[in-house]
A = this chain, B = another copy of it.
Amino acid sequence: MAAVMEDEVFKVFTTHATVVLVKLLLMGPLTAFYRFSRGAFANEEDVALKPAEERKKMLRTHPDVERVRRCHQNDLETVVPFVLVGLLYTLTGPELSSAQLCFRLFTGARLFHTVSYVVALPQPCRALSWMLGMGVNFFMAYRVLQTVLVL
Contact partner, A84, options B4, B29, B78, B83, Cβ 8 Å: B83
Q: In A104-128, which residues have CB < 8 Å from any B CB?
A: 104, 120-123, 126
A interface, over-half SS: helix
Q: A5-B93, A91-B5, A145-B18 are in contact. Are A121 and B80 (CB under 8 A)?
A: no
Q: How far is the CB of A104 from chain B (nearest CB, A)?
A: 7
A contacts, CB < 8 Å to B: 1-5, 7-8, 10-12, 14-19, 21-22, 24-25, 27-29, 42-46, 48-49, 67, 70, 72, 76-78, 80-81, 83-85, 88, 90-93, 104, 120-123, 126, 130, 134, 137-138, 141, 144-145, 147-151
